[in-house]
C-alpha cells in the first residue's frame, strides 16, 4: 500500500471550496471555448453526452475528470458524489438544464 498524505476530511467549508473550484474550472472552460459562446445551455449540451436532455452522474464524472481535467487529488470520488447532490436539486438521479443553469448561476463569480 502506498503511503501518502491522508485525505482532507470533508467539512461544510471544504464542500464550499469544492463547489467554487469546480465552478471556476467549468466557467474557465466556457470562456475559452468560443464554440460555446458563453452559453450555459451549450455547455450543458456538451456535458449531456448521450443527448438525453438530462445529465447523470457518470456523464458529470466523465466531463469533470476528462474534459475539465479535475484530478482525484483535487476532488475525490466521494466529494464528486457530494457535489452531484448539489447539482441534482430534486434528487431524481439526473440533472436537467434548469437545475444545471440554476447551479451555475448561483455559484457564478
Output helix, strand, coil percentages for the chain, rounded to the nearest 5.
Answer: 60, 5, 35
Task: Domain ranges for the chain, please list them.
Answer: 48-109
Question: Would you give per-residue pLDDT tens digits along the chain (109 residues)?
Answer: 445 555 556 677 777 888 889 888 888 887 888 888 878 788 888 888 899 999 999 999 998 998 889 999 999 998 898 888 888 888 899 999 888 888 877 776 5
CATH architecture of 48-109: Orthogonal Bundle (1.10)
- Cα 40 to its chain centre, rounded Å, is 13
Helices (H), 1-109: 12-32, 40-47, 57-62, 77-87, 97-107
User: Of 40, 76, 75, 80, whose CA–CA distance to 60 is shortest?
Assistant: 80
User: Of 66, 60, 80, whose CA–CA distance to 15 is shortest?
Assistant: 80
Confidence at residue 2, expressed as pLDDT on a 0 to 100 scale: 47
Confidence at residue 7, expressed as pLDDT on a 0 to 100 scale: 56
Amino acid at each position: 500500500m502506498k503511503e501518502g498524505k491522508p485525505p482532507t476530511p470533508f467539512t461544510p467549508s471544504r464542500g464550499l471550496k469544492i463547489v467554487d473550484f469546480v465552478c471556476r474550472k467549468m466557467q474557465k472552460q466556457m470562456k475559452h471555448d468560443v464554440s460555446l459562446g458563453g452559453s450555459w445551455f451549450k455547455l450543458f449540451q456538451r456535458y449531456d453526452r448521450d443527448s438525453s436532455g438530462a445529465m447523470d452522474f457518470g456523464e458529470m464524472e466523465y466531463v469533470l475528470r476528462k474534459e475539465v481535467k479535475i484530478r482525484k487529488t483535487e476532488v475525490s470520488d466521494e466529494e464528486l458524489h457530494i457535489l452531484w447532490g448539489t447539482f441534482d436539486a430534486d434528487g431524481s438521479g439526473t440533472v436537467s438544464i434548469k437545475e444545471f443553469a440554476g447551479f451555475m448561476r448561483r455559484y457564478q463569480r
